[in-house]
Structures are given as structure tokens and as C-alpha cells.
């Protein structure tokens, strides 16, 4: 029987892609997607475990749905994704009213599972290569059900082999598994034919991609040359795997956008070693210098963690110095939280919470200044902008993204939704560019 399914997604772009692909699979099996949880037969939470806050948010939402299920016992309640993988049967013990607990790879079994008779208290979390390579999952001619029709994610790999000491991803998403490049190219072309202008190629570490002698630089060239997509973005890149060949391809391929997300995590070589990142600050700066030399007008973004175990004032100062040297266009900034099961969980969490917050606010303040300075280079310039909706603050204006990934608010009375248009930038702040068509 056809079911109405409500899905709420937490966490990273990979989770968003998984949910979008799941919605496509559900539609293909005759089920309907609803945005109204109160009319759903099946409620799915696709969860994240990378940070403690993400798990707390998901568990808080789960409590809401528990109260709803008490009054609607026939509703099937499913927890999927990384928190489901990490907690497994323990989650079922903590929340016995759950019907299904599905790991990140098992999530794609949901259309078949809800098609069976009533299923209760079932846990499937093992991340296997066989599930990932299943032809039923990856070769089915279907499209992810996207939030916006103009841009789309495509996963090129799943899992990670890096085992950074603070990170839970290898434990919840399994080892790195790369999709065949012909599958990726076919999916990108399907997306382009459906009206999308932009694709973002996703992986926990995209630039370690390998398949039949082809690497990520080769894949970028194939997507550029063999599909009709207009723009190509990608994330996330690991600094240790960012080759000169890849930088050259980013610079030369016209569809590849001038934006590289390159997580630094810390400016201290001592902390980077404890983090097991595989590079030092000098290595990172060499890659940045080559990127800026080769890729004209490039936008660099990063991730940084403060308050990692044993981080001293001197370690923190080195992070500030790296921010000033590189001048990131934007940064995702976090204070360290212990992730059970990681290598760093065995270290003493010895930086007081008050000090973590102080350092975090210092980073935020510095990055706001740098971002505004970087954005000023666009004043008076004409940028290509992909329009994806109306401005939240002013419904008379449009909102979009530049090739360099900055948000742009556009003053135009024309209907430019879903189009790539030239915009002359007249004003900037730390987060946004403003201009006219």
C-alpha cells in the first residue's frame, strides 16, 4: 500500500543527498512525500553524529514524535543515518517505541521495508560494500527529489579511511567506497536534463577518489566534458590529497567553479599531529599558494576546531595567525566536543568550556573582518549568479549564489528564477554581496 512519508534531515550535505535520493526511491515505489508530519504514515529522522549538538537536536525532535505517536500508534517511526549507526541497538533500548533503526547505507532499504507488513523494533546498521554497490540502489534510473530544482548534490563516494582522531565518520559511514565514474556521469547528466544548472560532487574526501585508474581530477574533466551541467562544485577536499594535477584542472575547466573548501582544523602543527591530519601548516600554505597562483579570483573556505585536548594559548595563537595568512573567504567554526569511540575520546578534555567559547568568539570576530575585506574585492565587478529564490528579508529581491559560493542579493523586477545572470555588485558585508541585474 502507498504510504505518506515525512523526512527530516540533520547534518551534512551527504545526509541531505541521502534524504533526497531516498525520496526519489520512495516515489519510484509508489509512496508519497509529505511536508506535513501530521498526515504522515511514516516519519523518518535522518541523523548526524559528527557533533554532540547534532545528536541532541535529533533526540529532542524524536521526543516530539514520541508524544505524537502516543496518540497515533499506527505511525511508523524510523531513525536513520549516522546516529542510528553509532548507537544501534542501544538507541532501541533508549527509545523502545521506534519501529526501525537504519544506518547510512541501510536507509535505502526503507521503500521495501515499509512495503512489508508492520515492522517493529528492527535494527539494520551494518555498512557493507555490497549494499553500496547494489545495482538496485545506484543504477535505478531515478532522480533525487531535490529541495531546489536548480542545484543538486551527487555522491561520488561514501565513507572515509582517514581516521582523524576527533572524527566519528569512519566508524559510522564505514570505509571509503568510490562509485564507478560512468554512474556518476550518467546521474549528473540526468540532473542537467531535469533543469538543474549546478551540481556539487560529494564525498567525505572527494580528492582521494580512485576508480579504474582514474582519479578525482580525471572525474572533474569527464563531468565537465561529457555532461551539459553548467556549474560544478565539490566538497570536501582533504589538504593532504590536494594534488597539483587537481589544482591545474580546477583552474582550466570552465564549468568548475572557483571555490575550494579546504578544512584546516588547526594552525598548530602539534595539534594537527594529534588530530592525525597528515599535513602541517607549511604543507597547507604551499597548497594555498599554488591554488591562488593558478585559480584566478578563487574563494577559499575552511573548517576550524578550537579547544581540542591540550590546545594551549600558543596553539590557538597559531590558528589565528594561519587565518590571517590565508584570508579565508568564510569558515565553519566549532568548539571541540568529545565523540565517543574516536581516538581523541581517550584524551583528557582539558580546555575549560568557558575558554573554548572565548576562543570560538575570537575566531568568529576575526573571520567576520576577513570575510568583509575579501568581499570588497567584488565591488564594481560583474559576477555570474545562479538565482535560486527570493530574498528572505525583501521578497522584492532575488537571492542566489556566485561561482565563488558567496550569497548574492539581486535587485531586479525581471523573473530570473533558475537562471544564471550577470550581476553588478554595489555593496558587501561579511556574509553577503548585493547588486543589480
Are 109 and 37 part of one and the same domain? yes
- pLDDT band at 424; cut points 50, 70, 90: very high
Residues 98 and 174 in one domain: no
Instruction: Please check whether residue 262 lies inside any domain of the structure.
Output: no
83 and 175: one domain?
Answer: no
pLDDT over 70 (residue 125): no
- Peptide bond connecting 236 to the previous residue in cis, omega within 30 degrees of 0: yes
The answer to whether residue 118 scores a pLDDT higher than 90 is no
User: Which of 201, 207, 220, 299 is closest to 259 using CA atoms?
Assistant: 299
Q: End of a domain among 65, 96, 128?
A: 128
DSSP-assigned beta bridge partners for residue 101? 79, 123
The answer on 158 and 121 residing in a single domain is no
Task: Categorize the per-residue pLDDT at 134 as very low, low, confident or very high, splitting at 50, 70 and 90.
Answer: very low
- pLDDT (mean) for 387-408: 95
Rounded to 5 degrees, φ, ψ at 159 are: 80, 180
pLDDT at 141 over 60: no
> 125-143 burial by CB neighbour count: b if 16+ within 10 A, else e?
bebeeebbeeeeebeeebb
Q: Which three cell numbers stand for residue 31?
A: 509512496
What's the pLDDT at 286?
A: 97
- Pairing of the two strands 330-335 and 407-411: unpaired
Residue 138 lies in a domain: no
173 confidence band (pLDDT: 50, 70, 90) = confident
Could you count the other beta carbons within 10 Å of the beta carbon of residue 353? 11
Q: Is the pLDDT of residue 136 over 60?
A: no
| In a domain? residue 357 | yes
d(CA 53, CA 47): 11
Is residue 322 assigned to a domain? yes
Helix (H, G, I), strand (E, B) or coil at 2: coil
136, part of any domain: no
172, 242: one domain: yes
Helix, strand or coil for residue 89?
Answer: helix
pTM across the whole model: 0.90
- Tens of pLDDT, residue by residue over 56-98, are 999 999 999 988 888 888 899 999 999 998 888 888 888 888 8
In a domain, 116, yes or no: yes
What pLDDT was estimated at residue 52? 82
What are the tens digits of pLDDT across the range 370-384? 999 999 999 999 999
Shared-domain flag, residues 17 and 93: yes
* 294 plus 335 within the same structural domain: yes
Lookup result for grid cell 563531468: 223
CATH number where 86 lies: 3.40.50.12160
Does the pLDDT value for residue 32 go beyond 60? yes
Backbone φ and ψ of 382, nearest 5° = -105, 120
| Gap between the Cα atoms of 437 and 424, Å rounded | 6
State whether 59 and 9 are in the same domain: yes
Total number of domains constituting the chain: 4
Asked if residue 318 is part of any domain, the answer here is: yes
pLDDT in tens, 241-293: 999 999 999 999 999 999 999 999 999 999 999 999 999 999 999 999 999 99
**Are 29 and 107 part of one and the same domain?**
yes
**Residue that finishes a domain, picked among 95, 128, 161:** 128
In terms of domains, do 305 and 194 share one? no
State the chain's mean pLDDT as an integer. Answer: 92
Residues 353 and 412 in one domain: no
**Residue 83: inside a domain:** yes
pLDDT recorded at residue 54: 86
Residues for the chain: how many in total? Answer: 437
pLDDT at 126: 59
pLDDT of residue 36: 92
DSSP characters over 222-263? HHHHH---SEEEEE---GGG--HHHHHHHHH-TTB-SEEE--
Residue range of the domain that includes 103? 4-128
What CATH number is given to the structural domain containing 388?
Answer: 2.40.50.140
Lowest mean pLDDT among 69-73, 122-126, 160-164: 122-126
pLDDT at 130: 47
Over residues 386-398, mean pLDDT: 93
- Among 344, 359, 376, the domain-final residue is 376
Given a cut of 50, whether residue 143 has pLDDT beyond it is yes
- The helix (H) or strand (E) run that includes residue 115 is helix 110-115
> What local confidence, expressed as pLDDT, does residue 333 receive?
97
Do 22 and 101 belong to one domain?
yes
CATH number of the domain that residue 370 is part of: 3.30.750.200
Q: What digits encode the pLDDT tens for the residues 319-367?
A: 999 999 999 999 999 999 999 889 999 999 999 999 999 999 999 999 9
Amino acid at each position: 500500500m502507498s504510504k505518506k512519508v515525512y523526512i527530516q534531515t540533520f547534518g551534512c550535505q551527504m545526509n541531505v543527498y541521502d534524504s533526497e535520493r531516498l525520496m526519489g526511491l520512495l516515489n519510484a515505489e509508489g509512496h508519497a512525500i509529505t511536508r506535513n508530519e501530521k498526515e504522515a504514515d511514516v516519519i523518518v529522522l535522518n541523523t548526524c553524529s559528527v557533533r554532540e549538538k547534532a545528536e541532541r537536536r535529533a533526540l529532542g525532535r524524536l521526543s516530539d514524535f514520541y508524544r505524537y505517536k502516543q496518540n497515533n500508534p499506527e505511525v511508523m517511526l524510523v531513525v536513520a543515518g549516522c546516529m542510528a549507526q553509532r548507537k544501534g541497538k542501544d538507541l532501541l533500548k533508549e527509545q523502545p517505541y521506534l519501529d526501525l533503526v537504519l544506518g547510512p547505507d541501510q536507509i535505502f532499504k526503507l521503500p521495501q521495508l515499509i512495503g512489508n507488513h508492520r515492522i517493529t523494533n528492527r535494527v539494520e546498521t551494518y555498512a557493507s560494500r555490497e549494499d553500496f554497490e547494489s545495482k538496485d540502489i545506484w543504477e535505478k534510473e531515478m532522480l533525487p527529489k531535490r529541495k531546489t530544482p536548480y542545484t543538486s548534490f551527487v555522491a561520488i563516494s561514501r565513507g572515509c579511511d582517514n581516521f582523524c582522531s576527533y572524527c566519528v565518520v569512519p566508524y559510522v559511514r564505514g570505509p571509503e567506497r568510490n562509485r564507478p565514474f560512468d554512474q556518476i556521469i550518467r546521474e549528473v547528466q540526468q540532473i542537467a536534463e531535469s533543469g538543474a544548472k549546478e551540481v556539487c560532487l560529494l564525498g567525505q574526501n572527494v580528492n582521494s577518489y580512485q576508480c579504474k585508474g582514474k582519479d578525482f581530477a580525471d572525474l572533474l574533466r569527464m563531468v565537465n566534458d561529457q555532461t551539459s551541467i553548467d556549474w560544478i562544485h565539490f566538497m570536501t577536499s582533504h589538504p593532504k590529497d590536494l594534488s597539483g594535477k587537481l589544482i591545474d584542472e580546477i583552474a582550466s575547466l570552465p564549468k568548475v567553479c572557483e571555490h575550494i573548501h579546504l578544512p584546516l582544523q588547526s594552525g598548530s602543527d602539534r595539534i594537527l599531529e594529534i588530530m592525525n591530519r597528515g599535513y602541517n601548516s607549511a604543507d597547507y600554505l604551499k597548497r594555498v599558494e599554488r591554488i591562488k597562483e593558478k585559480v584566478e579570483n578563487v574563494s577559499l573556505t575552511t573548517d576550524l576546531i578550537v579547544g581540542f585536548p591540550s590546545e594551549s594559548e600558543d596553539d590557538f595563537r597559531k590558528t589565528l595567525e594561519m587565518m590571517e595568512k590565508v584570508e579565508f573567504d568564510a569558515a565553519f567554526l566549532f568548539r571541540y566536543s568529545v565523540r565517543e569511540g574516536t581516538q581523541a575520546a581517550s584524551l583528557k578534555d582539558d580546555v575549560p568550556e568557558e575558554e573554548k567559547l572565548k576562543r570560538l568568539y575570537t575566531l568568529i570576530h576575526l573571520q567576520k573582518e576577513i570575510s568583509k575585506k575579501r568581499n570588497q574585492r567584488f565591488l564594481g565587478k560583474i559576477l555570474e549568479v545562479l538565482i535560486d529564490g527570493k530574498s528572505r528579508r525583501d521578497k522584492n529581491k532575488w537571492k542566489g549564489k556566485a561561482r565563488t559560493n558567496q550569497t548574492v542579493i539581486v535587485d531586479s523586477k525581471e523573473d530570473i528564477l533558475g537562471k544564471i545572470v550577470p550581476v553588478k555588485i554595489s555593496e558587501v558585508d561579511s556574509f553577503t554581496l548585493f547588486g543589480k541585474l
